[in-house]
Amino acid sequence: MRTTWTFASATKLIFGPGAASQVGDCLRDLGASRVFVVTDQNLIEAGVWEPVRVSMAQSGLSWSLFAEGQPEPSLHLADRCAAEARMYAPDAVVGLGGGSNMDVAKMAAVLLRYSGSARDYLGDGRVPGTIAPLVCVPTTAGTGSEVSHAAAFTDTEQQVKTGMLSEFLRPRVALVDPLLMRSCPAKVTADSGIDALTHAIEAYTAVDNAAFPLPPGERSAYQGKNPLGDLFAERAIQCCGRYLRRAVANGHDLEAREGMALAATLGGLAFSNVGVALVHALEYAVGGVVPVSHGAGNGLLLPFVMRFNLPGREAEFCRIAEWLGETPTPDAAIDAVIKLKRDIGIPERLRNLGIQQSQLRSLAERAYAIRRITRVNPRPASIDELHGILLDAW
């Protein structure tokens, strides 16, 4: 049982419109002259790479561009990116994009320092030490990967989403620039935005730090609910309530983009110290068998998991309802989330994703096996109970 908690973040966080123009200086401060940049074609076409490129050029840096990033990246993609990084032998890595590109950049920064392939570093605490200096520049408001210790991949062989967790994965610098998010398409804005809300709600309603069920001798990057996580989650939930619909409706609403950028980074700070729970465990299973974005999968599942977690977390649910602008009752929190996800077009049911009812049992078993996440949940869940949640969501 834990009785103390610690709090970690990216070493430096630079936030606000225009922040991306500091990337060159940041890389210089890290002693870099050759930089490996992980991004994708959409971001190049949308002009998001341009301010980063200009800043790096002004700082006299040379770079190699890996622009083959894909949503929900596979381990193969991460290995391919790392192979290119090893050939270029950079002294720093930049992850420019949503969670997908930032996570591939994290893996490249690991594989620049250590031998082997992506699969060798999956799980909790398997990165041996510090990684290549990493700067993350998010272009979605969602994952919080720019400050987190996590990286997520699709394991196409095992048909499950999988993750790498290590304190060494926290970027040296996070540059959060809402101007880069203006071109983010409405669907990606919605999906990644509800991911940020899920991070904050799962952290705020997690098992208490003092009751975190950690077997003797085992370490975990996650630690359960604590006061600083609560503080960040509160603000993140409020921002999602105020700004997510607006950001989806009008991508050029800069106030909304900035509010959601804050929600995402604060959500990342909260979940990467406290933990994520059953929504994420179930989404990792669902996302392995059907092509749904992480955010849409989470958004779909969130109210159903909230319903399961309500007993014992009534006080937290009342506050969440208030922060989302509703009357402070536990049911109002669930209703507010359902309303929000409807308004922004998150799919309602697992069957809408093409999942068959006969698949649910095996999905429940896969989610149950992800102990590093399921043990963060405030209410322990058996395979039968996970199956029940999936049936409700089906």
Ligand X SMILES: NC(=O)c1ccc[n+]([C@@H]2O[C@H](COP(=O)([O-])OP(=O)(O)OC[C@H]3O[C@@H](n4cnc5c(N)ncnc54)[C@H](O)[C@@H]3O)[C@@H](O)[C@H]2O)c1
Q: Which does residue 142 bind out of ligand X, Zn ion, none, counting CB within 5 to 8 angstroms by kind?
A: ligand X
Shortest Å, Cβ 271 to ligand X = 7
Q: Which stretch binds ligand X (CB under 6 A): 145-153, 239-247, 321-329, 382-390?
A: 145-153
34 burial class (0-12, 13-18, 19+ CB within 10 angstroms)? Answer: middle
Q: Which is nearer to ligand X, 195 or 234 (by Cβ)?
A: 195
DSSP 259-319: HHHHHHHHHHHHHHHH---HHHHHHHHHHHHS---HHHHHHHHHHHHHHHH-TT-HHHHHH
| Stretch near ligand X under the rule CB under 6 A, chosen from 78-86, 178-186, 336-344, 371-379 | 178-186
For residue 174, what are its two tokens? 């996070």
In whole angstroms, the minimum distance from the beta carbon of 195 to ligand X comes to 6
Query: Whose structure tokens read 């520049």?
Result: 137
Report the residue number whose CB is nearest to Zn ion: 195
Task: Report yes or no: 157 and 284 within 8 Å, Cβ to Cβ.
Answer: no
Residue 193, token pair as written in the block: 């935005």
**Window contacting ligand X (CB under 6 A); options: 16-24, 94-102, 235-243, 310-318:** 94-102
- The interface mask with ligand X, positions 23-62, x = CB under 6 A, is -----------------x-xx--x-x--------------
Contact call for residue 96 and ligand X (CB under 6 A): no
**Pick from 105, 163, 92: which is nearest to 139 by CA?**
105
Determine the interface stretch with ligand X among 27-35, 97-105, 309-317, 371-379 (rule: CB under 6 A): 97-105
Chain centroid to CA 23: how far? 22
295 binds ligand X (CB under 6 A): yes
Residue with Cβ nearer Zn ion (38 or 281): 281
CB 289 within 8 A of CB 378: no
Minimum Å gap between C-beta 277 and Zn ion is 11
Q: Is 338 in the site for ligand X (CB under 6 A)?
A: no
Nearer to ligand X, 295 or 330 (CB): 295
CB of 301 to Zn ion, least distance (A): 11
Tell me: does residue 103 bind ligand X (CB under 6 A): yes
Q: What is the DSSP string of 221-232?
A: S---B-HHHHHH
The length of the chain in residues reads: 394
Determine how β-strand 173-176 pairs with β-strand 134-138.
parallel
Given a contact cutoff of 8 angstroms between Cβ atoms, the answer to whether 147 and 9 are in contact is yes
Under the rule (CB under 6 A), what is the footprint of ligand X? 40, 42-43, 46, 48, 71-72, 97-101, 103, 139-140, 142-145, 148, 150-152, 161, 180-181, 183-185, 188, 191-192, 195, 294-295
